Amino acid sequence: MGKQNLSIRVLLIMEALASAGQPLSFTQLIQRTKIPKSSLCRQVHALTLAGFITRLPGQAGYVVGGRALKLSLSSLRSSSFLIEAKKSLKKLVSCINESCNLTTLSGDSVQYLVREESELPWSLQLHVRPNVQVPLHCTASGKLFLANLPMIEQQNYLKRLELTAYTKSTITTREGLKAELENTFRQGFGIDNEEFVTGMVAIAVPVYGGLDKEELIAAVACHAVSARTDLRKLLSQRAIMQKAADDVGLIFNTTESRH
């Protein structure tokens, strides 16, 4: 077998796991990748040893491993990607007149990769530095990331996250957060209704990338001061935010193809 075919098979395995949304058994991997059993067995073993995929206990199946997730995060942090993504955010801000962020899942937190401020004169602004990390359970991006995790990963997060009350509106029970995540998954976007900072509302829409362009890799989020706007007004901008998020996804895939 040539090196090219070997590389394609590795990518097919990673694509199948990343897009599944749940652990896959070895049999399911055969069905999805169409790779012969003996060859798939060798590739899965090698990828597991290298940390790119993880075998769950018992017969639970395989999921994307921590090393693959770190690789995706490294691509998101690349300077060329961030420069182009910032241009898309700048266009978005000029349309909706609110500050916007590009965020990603980083461990047990949301990490801000890029922020573009509104240039409206004399407007209230929330100062957020790039690379700062914020909680998952009470932010629009955080809830969006949690809602789209494979079920077993989501359950692990829900077990270990400290549901700190940042405001009187913060969801602090696991049952309440689970219900919120189910709603977030159904609607396809995340919201923060003064749950992290009193007087701040936010929405976050998904950025998809990967080989099948269906892997949630980041989010475009818009934060606003509730004294100037409200959640309903932000939600009216969702379509234009999603267009910007789709543009960022295309930039990511283009950047990935160059590496």
pLDDT tens for each residue of the chain, 259 residues long: 444 466 788 888 888 887 776 678 889 999 999 999 989 998 988 888 887 787 766 566 787 776 666 666 555 656 677 788 889 999 999 999 888 999 988 778 888 888 888 776 545 556 665 556 789 999 999 999 999 988 888 988 899 899 999 999 999 999 999 999 999 999 999 999 999 999 999 999 999 986 556 778 899 999 888 888 889 999 999 999 999 999 998 888 776 655 4
> pTM (2 decimals)?
0.71
Distance separating alpha carbons of residues 99 and 89, to the nearest angstrom: 9
Domains, in order of start, for the chain? 3-64 (1.10.10.10), 70-258 (3.30.450.40)
pLDDT computed for residue 125 by the predictor:
58
Distance separating alpha carbons of residues 118 and 129, to the nearest angstrom: 14
DSSP 56: P
Q: What ranges make up the beta strands (E) of 44-96?
A: 53-55, 62-64
User: Residue 11: CA atoms inside 13 Å, Cβ hemisphere, count?
Assistant: 11
Could you tell me the CA-to-CA distances from 58 to 19, 239, 254 in Å, in that order?
22, 43, 38
Helix (H/G/I), strand (E/B), else coil: 193: strand
pLDDT computed for residue 3 by the predictor:
46
